Homo-oligomer: A and B are copies of this chain.
Amino acid sequence: MVDVITRQPVTPIIGRLVVVGLGLIGGSFAKGARESGLCREVVGVDQHAPSRARAVELGVVDRCEADLARACEGADVIQLAVPILAMEKLLAMLAKLDLGNAVLTDVGSAKGNIVRAAREAFGTSLPRFVPGHPIAGSEQSGVEASNGRLFRRHKVILTPLPETDAAALDVVDTLWRALGADVEHMQVERHDEVLAATSHLPHLLAFGLVDSLAKRSENLDIFRYAAGGFRDFTRIAGSDPVMWRDIFLGNREAVLHALDTFRTDLDDLREAVDAGDGEQLLDVFTRARSAREHFGKLLNQAKEGKS
């Protein structure tokens, strides 16, 4: 694997970056930004005292604050990396501060609900808000797992608002690219639809199927007969339940829309099985396999760093 990022002496373009929430994503963003040389100072904010101490020890941030207001003094960019359901409260707190000309951005997995919360909190247009979502994760969590390379060759979707400043968008874009991310811009609604279809709905189906089987099978005996295909299919049901509850609450409308569309198609498939309509089954399966192969190629290209 060729490392596409070469370290050159870099002139800082950002004075002070503040990262609120030092979990895996916030910590990795802070660490990567710090290593990039693009920021004069990276300040962390976390409610959890041991996380603050570890963040400094591990070089994730230059310094850490418990108090949001103190951390945000003189901030040029403020990255919000708290759980999706904590965003509303955080935005309300930020709206009470004098943020000057600071650029606000976030990493939430759903965007519409966060934009709504920001508009409510700030009660005005948001030229300095750049909503974002890195499509990356890890089995690990917490500040200990912070990894400045976590976002390399991963997609990061920014969803600028109609009123977003070009300069604000550019700063956030530059930061993510410096971390090796493959940045794309998209409308808020489109982001929420695409993620509902390709991430949230599959998680709902996997969680739902595993629970549906487990609760009806005495002592989980049925899983003894499952093979490798089932393992792959249900792997995502091992994801963090709290995080996923929050995502479904946060992206409720787009998830319902994706689910209803899928259920309509599933009803048609059910009818085909019931009617013994082999031709329709073969059509669907053949199209699906061909789409799956296309998708597999895309992912392999991304893996090889060619995307």
Q: Which residues in A have some Cβ–Cβ distance to B below 8 Å?
A: 135-137, 154-155, 157, 194-195, 197-199, 201-216, 220, 222-242, 244-246, 248-249, 252, 255-256, 259-263, 265-266, 269-270, 273-274, 276, 278, 281-282, 284-289, 291-296, 298-299
B256 touches A224 (CB 8 A): no
A296 to B214, CA, bound (A): 13
Whether B241 lies near A289 (C-beta < 8 A) is yes
Question: How many chain copies does the complex carry?
Answer: 2
Besides A214-B291, A245-B278, A248-B273, 17 other CB < 8 A contacts? A197-B213, A198-B213, A198-B223, A198-B227, A199-B230, A202-B234, A208-B269, A209-B262, A210-B292, A212-B261, A220-B295, A223-B291, A223-B295, A226-B299, A231-B299, A239-B289, A249-B281
Contacts of A198 in B (CB 8 A): 213, 222-223, 225-227, 230
A219 to B, closest residue via Cβ: B294
A207 in complex: contacting residue of B213, B215, B284, CB < 8 Å: B284
Asked whether, in the complex, the Cβ of B199 is within 8 Å of the Cβ of A288, the reply is no
| Chain B residue with the shortest CB-CB distance to A205 | B205
CA distance A221 to B235 in the complex (A): 24
A252 and B225 contact, Cβ closer than 8 Å, known pairs A241-B285, A289-B241:
no
Assembly CA distance A296 to B226 (angstroms): 10
